[in-house]
Amino acid sequence: MANLKLLLGLIPSTSKIEQAETDLISEFEKLQAFINSEELAKYNELDALVNSGDFQKKKKEIESLKYKSSEEFNKESEYKKLVKAKDISLYFKTRDGSNLKKFKEMDGSEKLVRYEKVGNIINSAEFRQKQQDKKVRFKDTEEFKLLGEYKDLKGSADIKFYFKFKKSKELANFNQIEGSQKLSRYEELKEYVASDEFISRKEYLLDKKRFEKNKMFGQQQDFEKLKKSDDIIWYIKVKDSDKFNILKNKELTFSDEFDGESLDTKKWLTNNYWGDKLLNDRFSLETDLHCFTEKDNIEVRSSLLKISTKPQKTEGKVWNPGLGGFRKKNFDFTSAIVSTGKSFRQQYGIFSTKVKLNTATGTTHGFRMLADKITPHIDICRTDKSKVWMDLFNNGPKGVKTSLGSKYSKGFYIYTLEWTADKMVWKINGIEVFRQTNNIPQEPMYMILSGGLEKPISGASTMEVDWVRVYKYNN
């Protein structure tokens, strides 16, 4: 089934694979944290207490409480008295009635403002002096018109109502109660006696069952509440399950997420291991078309390691044992190699990378493993002839290999090698590609990420690496 899925391209998407792993790790971390949580400690404590024989015995011995001697009874009685109080009753009648609304609409209205303004003029000394001035006929003055306007306003129903209500006992009572401590207490008690807490407490105190009156009842309630907690239900369900075995059985020993602005040279050597150790310089093989560089072909940006292979003239060294060793050579192409030869090696485990290989014609990109000799040589993934290959060479040139279509290098995929003492399993996005059960390497090996060429190319080709992670088995 796995081969058919690979052939048809029906494998889980890389994003789903990563999301599933992220979710599993997140849930496992939640489990680890919850094991030491106060909530679980409290649940275990109450579980032991509530289900003990002593607790059950004491439960039967609890005496009753009386509602009439309780704080709840006093508060309810106080509330009932306030409900019957005349000033409180009148307050709500006024608040919800039409007179107060009408009064507030009039208060500050243009009509009232005009009435008061004209009234101030009418009652002023200047106005009276104008009325008594016999040199001028008063009826012909603007003041006479104002006097008429004032009389009309004063006689209007709205103005009469406004000043009558303003002097009323009803409004005085409303103003006295509004914002008062008495009203605040009424509202507080009204909310309290309508609350689930009060209703539940009252029923509890009136109940003839005596156990509910003791703090043990609260302990039992707390236990029942915790039992129904989503976290407790989840914990009981998963604590003994095998869903986290994949995480429990492995331990991260190496990782690089390439989150910095440059390559971490404490982890990665930008050279062949033996070139660095013996020559302290980079070199290529006689048959290589490319020269390995660092500056022009390695870039860390946007959480990606980019290894580019491109046309570029440069001079480098090549190894040719038939001609006596190293010699200088002019190259038309450059590429790059990084390895953990000096920083990290591991025998057995899970070796994984999320990478976009890029199978541009002529280029060879790969994620490989080597030891100190030519073999064993493991290709966890590499490109060649526009395909993705997975290989093992050990104890001789003849090896085992398999290939995938070029479509598997056109996007990011997760390539993984699971290596134990008796088998090696190659996977892409969690789907097994092939396995080897004999001639298994039995020595620590280091990782290599590199580019290269099988034939000349006209433009740059780049391999993009999102992350590299290595685990060891715990069992």
CATH classification number, 254-473, choose in 3.40.50.720, 2.60.120.200, 2.30.30.60, 3.30.200.20: 2.60.120.200
Greater pLDDT, 4 or 113: 113
| Half-sphere exposure (Cβ direction) of 229: Cα atoms closer than 13 Å | 16
End-to-end CA distance of the chain: 29
pLDDT higher than threshold 70 for residue 397:
no
Single pTM value for the model: 0.64
In 107-259, alpha helices (H): 110-122, 125-132, 142-155, 157-166, 169-177, 181-194, 196-206, 215-227, 230-238, 245-248
Greatest CA separation found in the chain?
140
Q: 């009558």: which residue's tokens?
A: 164
- Which strands, in side-by-side order, build the sheet including 377-384? 337-339, 446-450, 366-370, 377-384, 387-393, 399-404
DSSP 346: B
Q: Can you list the positions of beta strands (E) in 336-412?
A: 337-339, 349-356, 366-370, 377-384, 387-393, 399-404
Structure tokens at 257: 């997420």
Could you tell me what percent of the chain has a pLDDT over 70? 95
Q: Which residue from 430, 421, 433 is spatially nearest to 473, judged by alpha carbons? A: 421
296 touches 333 (CB < 8 A): no
CA distances (Å), origin 169, targets 16, 166, 172, 286, 397: 75, 9, 5, 112, 111
Q: What is the pLDDT of residues 404-444, one digit of tens each?
A: 877 787 789 999 999 999 999 999 999 999 999 999 999 99
Q: Exposed, middle or buried: residue 365 (CB in 10 Å: 0-12, 13-18, 19+)?
A: buried
Render pLDDT for 58-98 as a digit per residue (tens, 0 to 9). Answer: 887 665 678 888 899 999 999 999 999 999 999 999 999 99
- Mean pLDDT over residues 3-20, rounded? 81
Paired tokens of 463 = 């391999």
- Provide CB contacts within 8 A for 242, sequence distance 6+: none
Distance of CA 16 to the CA centre of its chain: 17
Contacts for 364 with CB less than 8 Å, ≥ 6 apart: 382, 383, 384, 451, 452, 453, 454
Specify the DSSP class assigned to residue 385: T
Q: Is residue 423 a contact partner of residue 412, using CB atoms and an 8 Å limit?
A: no
In this structure, the strands spanning 325-335 and 290-292 are: parallel
What is the chain's mean pLDDT, rounded? 89
User: Which amino acid is located at 263 in the chain?
Assistant: L
pLDDT tens string 176-192? 999 999 999 999 999 99
Domain ranges of the chain: 2-64+208-238, 67-205, 254-473
Does pLDDT of 1 surpass 60?
A: no
Residue 339's closest CA among 267, 260, 419?
A: 267
